[in-house]
């Protein structure tokens, strides 16, 4: 079994005009594929956990920026690339729906790296 590696990150959801979702996910967990921008053909699976209460905007819509915890289904494939400040794209099918920037990393032994 692979050691658990997770990251805290900021997710910037793209607007529909930029190819993103009409509305950001509203549940507490969201699973998707992702890719580091410099390696366009290599994808990895992520699970995002949202804070318990998501802020809503003035018109009742959810924010387009979320602070989240990101888990990696195969951490051994990405662990060496995870550093605070590193960015990757979140995809649904062949379209990019969000940009994600890592804020800190939690390693299996409990060490935390922060930006």
Q: 2-32, pLDDT tens digit by residue?
A: 558 899 999 999 999 999 999 888 889 999 9
Contacts of 75 (CB under 8 A, 6+ apart): 2, 3, 4, 5
Domain ranges of the chain: 6-114
Cα–chain center distance at 106: 14
For residue 29, give Cα distances in angstroms to 24, 38, 46, 50, 94: 12, 27, 10, 6, 21
pLDDT in tens, 48-94: 999 765 555 444 555 689 999 999 999 998 989 999 999 999 999 98
Q: Cα–chain-centroid distance for residue 53?
A: 17
Fold of the CATH domain 6-114: Elongation Factor Tu (Ef-tu); domain 3 (2.40.30)
């Amino acid at each position: 079994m692979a050691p658990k590696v997770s990251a805290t990150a900021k997710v910037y959801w793209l607007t529909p005009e930029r190819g993103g979702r009409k509305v950001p996910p509203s549940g507490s967990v969201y699973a998707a594929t992702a890719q580091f921008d410099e390696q366009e053909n290599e994808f990895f699976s992520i699970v995002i956990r949202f804070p318990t209460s998501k802020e809503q905007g003035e018109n009742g819509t959810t924010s387009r920026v979320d602070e989240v915890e990101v888990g990696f289904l195969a951490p051994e494939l990405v662990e060496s690339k995870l550093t605070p400040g590193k960015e990757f794209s979140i995809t649904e099918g062949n379209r990019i729906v969000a940009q994600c920037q890592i804020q800190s990393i939690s390693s299996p032994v409990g060490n935390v790296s922060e930006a």
